[in-house]
Structure 1
Amino acid sequence: MLHFLLRAVFAAFGLAIASRLVPGVTYDAPTTLFLAALLLGVVNALLRPLLVILTLPITVLSFGLFLLVINAAMILLVSRIIPGFHVSGFVPGLLVAIITGLTSWAGTLLLGDLKRLNNRSS
């Protein structure tokens, strides 16, 4: 559970960065941003695997780039569900997906490094 919450913090950080860099992405309050990150984690855990399987042929033909479209769709879905978190369209959603993906990747690396350091000290 702690790992999921830490990943949500990194996702929220990515969403905050995206709101600064991408026109058309706004949020009302930091709590809204964290709720959006939590819901994004849940949506990615439940809905994304099904979409990946259903779109596997086009993903293969696009050399995996279609996964960015799926990620953008997940972010747009979250923006429709969470009041106070707004993404104005597909292109901003795609850019948010890239930024959030990079920050989540960096967070995963950091969490992995912290886990390894913790295991060494035990």
Structure 2
Amino acid sequence: MSFRIYRFGEKIEEKPSLINFLINYIGNFCGLAIASLLITGVSVDDFPSLIAATAVFAIIHTLIKPFVYLASCCLIVATFGFFIFVINAFLLIMTSKISTTLGLTFNVENFISAFLGALVITFISSSIRYIFQKRVNTKNF
């Protein structure tokens, strides 16, 4: 067993792997499922649509979110990070529109529902990522 002391501000390198991808996917899946149960305006009718909507959500977050964050970094800094939740709400609405176009039953009714859904999804997926990635990185998984 080896130990390493990290200095303040030093980033811990996390290598992309299939395990990390699965943890992120499961976190987003659970977040979307719980948001559809808790938030009135977020709905999904069947399990296959939930799985496919999670895939659409993951693709949007992988491809589009970095560019949106880069374009709106001044607003994110000016609002002390609050604008991230607004961005996540719009990405959730985009996921809903694309899912509906693909014939899936995932739907977000309005911006308030999307904002609350984004809060729930962020909390649930971040919690799951924290719990499981800590175990994966310490090899106690």
User: For 1:61, which of 78, 81, 92 is the aligned residue?
Assistant: 78
RMSD: 1.6
Are 1:115 and 2:132 an aligned pair? no
Deviations 1:64-121 (A, max 9, x none): 1111111011111011111210000111001111111011111111222321442x68
Which residue of structure 1 lines up, in the alignment, with residue 95 of structure 2?
A: 78
Greater percentage in helix: 1
Query: Structure 2 counterpart of 1:34, which letter?
Result: I
Question: Highest Rg: 1 or 2?
Answer: 2
Residue 16 of structure 1 is matched in structure 2 by 33
Counterparts of 1:113 and 1:3 in 2: how far apart (Å)? 11
Pairing partner for 1:41 from 49, 52, 58: 58
* Residues in 1 aligned to 2:73 and 2:137: alpha-carbon distance in whole angstroms: 34
2:23 maps to which residue?
6
Distance 1:2 1:28 in 2: 28
d(CA) in 2 for partners of 1:17, 1:76: 17
Unaligned runs of 5+ in 1: none
Identity of aligned residues (%): 27
- Structure 1 consecutive aligned stretches of length 4 or more whose deviation exceeds 6 Å: none
